[in-house]
Amino acid sequence: MAVHIPDGLIEGGTSAGAGVVAATGVGVCLRQAGRLLDERRVPLAGLTSAFIFAAQMVNFPVAGGTSGHLLGGVLAAVLVGPYVGAVCVAVVVVVQALLFADGGVSALGLNVANMALVTPFGGYLAFCGLRALLPPTRTSVAAASGVAAGFAVVLASLAFTVEYAVGGTGGASATTVGVAMIGVHVLIAVGEGVITALTVSAVLASRPDLVWGARHLGPDRSSPAAALGLGSAR
Which 65-84 residues touch another protein, going by CB under 8 A? 70, 79
SS3 content of the chain, % helix, strand, coil (to 5): 75, 5, 20
Instruction: Kindly state the number of chain residues that form the binding site for another protein, as judged by CB under 8 A.
Output: 95
Q: Which of 20, 24, 61, 129 binds another protein (CB under 8 A)?
A: 61
Is 166 a binder of another protein (CB under 8 A)? no
Q: Taking a C-beta distance cutoff of 8 angstroms, is the pair 86, 125 a contact?
A: no
Is 111 a binder of another protein (CB under 8 A)? no
Report the nearest approach of another protein to the CB of residue 32 (Å).
11
Residue type, 170: G
Measured from the CB atom, the residue of 129 and 177 that comes closer to another protein is: 177
Sites for another protein among residues 86-105 (CB under 8 A): 87-88, 90-92, 94-95, 97-102, 104-105
Q: Taking a C-beta distance cutoff of 8 angstroms, is the pair 151, 123 a contact?
A: yes
Report the nearest approach of another protein to the CB of residue 36 (Å).
12
Q: Which of 17, 21, 32, 34 binds another protein (CB under 8 A)?
A: 34
Q: Taking a C-beta distance cutoff of 8 angstroms, is the pair 147, 131 a contact?
A: no
Q: Can you tell me the distance from the alpha carbon of 29 to that of 117, in angstroms, rounded to the nearest whole number? A: 9
Measured from the CB atom, the residue of 137 and 173 that comes closer to another protein is: 173
Q: Taking a C-beta distance cutoff of 8 angstroms, is the pair 2, 71 a contact?
A: yes
Measured from the CB atom, the residue of 132 and 169 that comes closer to another protein is: 169
Of 2, 4, 153, whose CA–CA distance to 93 is shortest?
Answer: 4
Report the nearest approach of another protein to the CB of residue 20 (Å).
14
Span interacting with another protein, options 30-38, 117-125, 127-135, 151-159, rule CB under 8 A = 30-38
Q: Taking a C-beta distance cutoff of 8 angstroms, is the pair 222, 146 a contact?
A: no
